[in-house]
Amino acid sequence: MKVIRITGYEAEPHLDDVSKPVPASGQVLVRVRAASLNPLDVKLQRGYMEQFFPLTFPYTLGTDLAGVIEQLGADVEGWTLGDQVVARTDPTAGGAFAEYALVPKEFLAKAPSTLPFNEAAGIPTAAGTAWQALFESFELTEGQKVLIHAGTGGVGSFAIQLAHRVAAKVIATASGSGLDIVRLLGADMCIDYRREDFTRKLSDIDVVLDTMGGEIQRRSFDVLRAGGHLLSTVMPPDDTLAAAHNVTAGFVFHASDGQRLARVSKAIDQYGLRILVDRTVPFTEFIPAFQHQASGHARGKIIITFD
Q: Please give the full DSSP string across 148-177, using - where no structure is assigned.
A: ESSTTSHHHHHHHHHHHHTT-EEEEEE-TT
Q: Is 209 helix (H, G, I), strand (E, B) or coil?
A: strand
Residue 287: per-residue pLDDT = 97
Backbone phi, then psi, for 278, in 5-degree steps?
A: -75, -45
- Name the residue among 22, 16, 157 with its Cα closest to residue 97: 16
The one-character DSSP state at 223 is: G
Residue 165: per-residue pLDDT = 96
Average pLDDT over residues 233-244: 97
Q: Please give the full DSSP string across 271-291, using - where no structure is assigned.
A: HT----EEEEEEGGGHHHHHH
Average pLDDT over residues 1-6: 98
Residue 307: per-residue pLDDT = 80
% of the chain surpassing 70 pLDDT? 100
Q: What is the pLDDT of residues 195-227, one digit of tens each?
A: 999 999 999 999 999 999 999 999 999 999 999
Q: Is 146 helix (H, G, I), strand (E, B) or coil?
A: strand
Dihedral sign from CA coordinates of 23, 28, 30, 36: negative
Residue 7: per-residue pLDDT = 98
Average pLDDT over residues 236-254: 97
**254 pLDDT more than 90:** yes
Average pLDDT over residues 165-187: 97
Residue 300: per-residue pLDDT = 93
- Name the residue among 110, 109, 103, 121 with its Cα closest to residue 21: 103
The one-character DSSP state at 98 is: B
Fold that domain 2-123+275-305 belongs to in CATH: Quinone Oxidoreductase; Chain A, domain 1 (3.90.180)
Alpha-carbon dihedral of residues 34, 161, 156, 300, nearest 10 degrees? 40
% of the chain surpassing 90 pLDDT? 99
Average pLDDT over residues 109-134: 98
Task: Please tell me the number of Cα atoms within 13 Å of 267 on its side-chain side.
Answer: 24
User: Using DSSP, how many helices (H) and how many strands (E) does the chain show?
Assistant: 10, 16
Identify the CATH assignment for 126-251 out of 3.40.1160.10, 3.40.50.720, 3.40.190.10, 3.30.460.80.
Answer: 3.40.50.720
Give the angle subtended at the CA of 273 by the CAs of 267 and 278, to the nearest 5°. Answer: 135
What's the start-to-end Cα distance of the chain, in Å? Answer: 13
Residue 110: per-residue pLDDT = 98
Q: CA-CA distance, 20 to 49, in Å (whole number)?
A: 28
The one-character DSSP state at 216 is: H
CB 223 within 8 A of CB 203: yes
Residue 92: per-residue pLDDT = 98
Q: CA-CA distance, 173 to 182, in Å (whole number)?
A: 8
Q: Is 218 helix (H, G, I), strand (E, B) or coil?
A: helix
Residue 13: per-residue pLDDT = 98
For residue 294, name the pLDDT band (cuts at 50, 70, 90).
very high
Q: What mean pLDDT value characterizes the chain?
A: 97
Residue 154: per-residue pLDDT = 94
Q: What is the pLDDT of residues 42-72, one digit of tens each?
A: 999 999 999 999 999 999 999 999 999 999 9
| Domain chopping of the chain, boundaries | 2-123+275-305, 126-251
Average pLDDT over residues 266-270: 96
**2 pLDDT more than 90:** yes
> In whole angstroms, how far apart are CA 95 and each of 44, 51, 71, 298?
13, 20, 16, 22
227, with CB counted inside 10 A (0-12, 13-18, 19+), is exposed
Length of the chain: 307
